Structure 1
Amino acid sequence: MAELGETVDLDHFANGARSFYADPYPVYDALRRRGAVHHVRTPGPGPREELWLIVGHEAARAAFTDPRLVKSPPWEWDVESDLIGRHLLFADPPEHGRLRSLVTREFTARRVAGLEQRIQKITDELLDDMVPRGSADLIAALAFPLPLVVICELLGVPDIDRDRFRRMSTQVVAPTSDDESEVYAELAAFLDALIEDKRASEPADDLLSALIRTTAEDGDRLSPSELRAMAFLLLIAGHETTVNLIGNGVRALLAHPDQLAALRADMSLLDGAVEEMLRYDGPVETATHRFAAQPVDIDGTVIPAGAPVLIGIGSAGRDPDRFPEPDRFDIRRDARGHLAFGHGIHFCLGAPLARIEGRTAIRSLLERCPDLALDAEPSTWLPGMLMRGVRTLPVRW
């Protein structure tokens, strides 16, 4: 690894972006040993930024609730806000509280819990198609289509071209070029047409229809642009996290045969195993951007006003001060307190749904494929620092 300088070029520090994407944890460990905050240049390919990266569990947890780190940037926002609109991940109090309360009126625990049987049925159907083949790309065969079908049914999105949607979704969460306007314009047009269809149709029981109708006690409701932005957030975030929870979780199990054997022998360990998967190699590597509303001193390092900030979720999960022997994957570990779904007011709305989907997919896969094994080492990782995952995961059984 390269020596630390004033600005850490993560490409150079990890001996190349490919190496960083495959295993960023040694880099995070080296940074964490030297302090809680670092000025870094993000890896390529795609857009490269200079920003401040917070590493370490306690520093990250505190940053999630620090009112000086805000979600609204101190300048005119980018193409996503222009074309999609402002959603929860861009909003600060009191706007954030208003938007979240309108969504949580409809996106309830009861609605999510009611999906469990349907999630099992979708999983079974996908495995019915996959298992007779003897081998497959687990991402394409199970990890991607399961949460996509679930979130589309939840929102009331009609059948969509999965390949087209996967291309758009991946470009949003792991961009490979500076020009993102085309994919956002495509998504905006798709969502506008969907919302108009919902408005013109008979009232339905899906979440998007409910969000169109929902009204707070004071008469407040989501505007057209807020509806589009909320649909975007639920559709993209509502499936991408789960894709990589399943992919990374299965990959961790297959890389640790003793843990896989322990789980097969005692499925009561599954809930804890999923939490350990989220801690050990979770689907979200860093939280979406925050900005310093004023100079912010963290652990003796001052982040200047207006500077963009990333909170390192993946790094926090491997902090030895919080999780002893953090690089050891142990499904019996008490992994509670991990930050895989964030912390504070921006804690992920979809966490309960992701957990149900992850548990269902992994349990069903292990039951149906007793000889599951890697067919080849993953070679293509998602670029960028937002999502952590592989594009393909070849397995056999």
Structure 2
Amino acid sequence: MQNTAETGPDDLIDVTQLLDDPHAGYAVLREAGPVHRIAGPDGQPAWLVTRYEDVRRCLSDPRLSLDKRNARGGYRGFALPPALDANLLNMDPPDHTRVRRLVAKAFTPARVEKLREPVRRLADGLLDAVADAGRADLMECYAGPLPIIVICDLLGVPEDDRPDFRAWTDALITPDPARPERAKEAVGAMMRYYTGLITAKRAAPGDDLLSDLILVRDGAAAEGGAGDRLGEDELTSLAFLLLFAGYENTVHLIGNSVLALLDHPEHLMALRTNPAELSAAVEEFARYDGPASLAIRRFPLEDVEIGGVRVPAGESVLLSLASANRDPHRFADPGTLDPGRDATGQLMFGHGIHYCLGAALARLQTETALTALISRFPGLRLDVPRSELRHRRTLRARGLISLPVAW
């Protein structure tokens, strides 16, 4: 086995080009080799996996742990307190299996489908609010608010508290280099809020997912005995994860999808004429420019071989979903947007036991948001030159800072 096709074990590839043009940068790396030793998003060494088959295999490899306790060198991620960190993104079986089983029933396709009409009413209401203006920033007034309202409704978060949730989540997703303390303050505020909300719902349960999870935690509705109950930190962390993950990816899947259609007006016109095809088109949008550029990092439990490269136990492994979804060995002409393509197998939502729990909900929200938008505003167009649009400069995720449009 080798270290990489082009570097020695102590060399790190500079991947700053991925910040400005990730798809071009990943194409170069993918061609050069399957695995590369890089400086990760936090500046620490990591192994970047770029090719579809390797990424897909790694996503379901039980030897690659999500538990940070298996990291060499003390990796801490967001350095969350235990009350927010005992979540599915930091768990391996059997804990992962137990916790996921308890919450998965809330996200079955049948239950998610029941949300279609409420989500459409919400989308229509958000568009009503800006229709007369003739222009708006879609990230601010549409792609951003819609998912936060949906997930807060699901969890039972009071309406007056929702602006705080969005501010806290934004502070974690896009840290301000000039104010690094904002992320730490957001973590503290979220932990205090969740603790208070759980206390309130214990006293007066509602018809919402968080109340159901509290009943499971307290044993009142446990179906499988003590072994299926949630710990208190697991309960708080799960509520945090559902909001955090349910918000970020959906916001930017909607935004990236709208931009892809504005860049390809022939597809926009075709989908406006045949909106029933939007469901399949969402898979292509997720493949073409999905918001999750990297999967949650993994830590090998033993030395492993990935694409012929030996990766030592405990080191950070980054799986590039963005690169895998543009691998020409899996998707023909991958740089071309083709809403009619069979994009089955795209990896934006992951693969294996860690497949995104909220994938069906994210798909439904994106499809519904696009359907409402393109049917309501047939003259939809960018309101600034295309060159002025800016994406967040982060290796982990890809999303627009703003999307000014007019109609």
Distance in 2 (CA, whole Å) between partners of 1:284 and 1:266 is: 28
Q: In the alignment, which of 16, 31, 54 is matched to residue 49 of structure 2?
A: 54
Closer, same or farther: CA 257–108 of 1 in aligned 2, 3 Å: closer
Match status 1:198 vs 2:201: yes
Shift of residue 103, structure 1, vs aligned partner: 1.2
Query: Which residue identity is paired with 1:7?
Result: L
Scaled by the length of structure 1, the TM-score of the pair is: 0.92
Match of 2:58 in 1: 63
Scaled by the length of structure 2, the TM-score of the pair is: 0.90
Distance in 2 (CA, whole Å) between partners of 1:130 and 1:22 is: 31
Distance in 2 (CA, whole Å) between partners of 1:310 and 1:29 is: 16
Does the Cα contact within 8 Å between 2:107 and 2:361 map onto a contact in 1? no
Q: Percent identity?
A: 42
Match of 1:10 in 2: 15
Distance in 1 (CA, whole Å) between partners of 2:286 and 2:326 is: 11
Closer, same or farther: CA 173–159 of 1 in aligned 2, 3 Å: same
Match of 2:224 in 1: 217
Match status 1:30 vs 2:28: yes
Distance in 2 (CA, whole Å) between partners of 1:216 and 1:176 is: 44
Worse overlay, 98-107 or 301-310: 98-107
Does the Cα contact within 8 Å between 1:276 and 1:331 map onto a contact in 2? yes
Partner-residue secondary structure (3-state), 2:85: coil
1:342-386 CA deviation, whole Å, 9 max, x = no partner?
A: 000000110111111101100110011001011123533223222
Match status 1:381 vs 2:391: yes
Alignment map for 1:1-397 (pairs within 5 Å): 5=7, 6-11=11-16, 14=17, 20-42=18-40, 47-73=42-68, 74=70, 78=76, 79-160=79-160, 162-177=162-177, 180-201=183-204, 203-214=205-216, 215-219=222-226, 220-376=228-384, 377=386, 378-397=388-407
Worse overlay, 328-337 or 182-191: 182-191
Distance in 2 (CA, whole Å) between partners of 1:117 and 1:94 is: 36
Across the two proteins, how many residue pairs are aligned to each other? 384
Distance in 1 (CA, whole Å) between partners of 2:330 and 2:276 is: 25
Distance in 2 (CA, whole Å) between partners of 1:176 and 1:309 is: 26
Does the Cα contact within 8 Å between 1:139 and 1:392 map onto a contact in 2? yes
Distance in 1 (CA, whole Å) between partners of 2:357 and 2:311 is: 29
Closer, same or farther: CA 210–142 of 1 in aligned 2, 3 Å: same
Query: Which residue identity is paired with 2:66?
Result: K
Output the aligned Cα RMSD.
1.9
Does the Cα contact within 8 Å between 1:87 and 1:226 map onto a contact in 2? yes
Does the Cα contact within 8 Å between 2:65 and 2:300 map onto a contact in 1? yes
Query: Which residue identity is paired with 1:182?
Result: E
Unmatched runs of 5 consecutive residues or more in structure 2: 217-221
Does the Cα contact within 8 Å between 2:168 and 2:190 map onto a contact in 1? yes
Partner-residue secondary structure (3-state), 1:9: coil
Distance in 1 (CA, whole Å) between partners of 2:47 and 2:171 is: 23
Distance in 2 (CA, whole Å) between partners of 1:77 and 1:126 is: 41
Shift of residue 83, structure 1, vs aligned partner: 4.7
Does the Cα contact within 8 Å between 1:32 and 1:55 map onto a contact in 2? yes
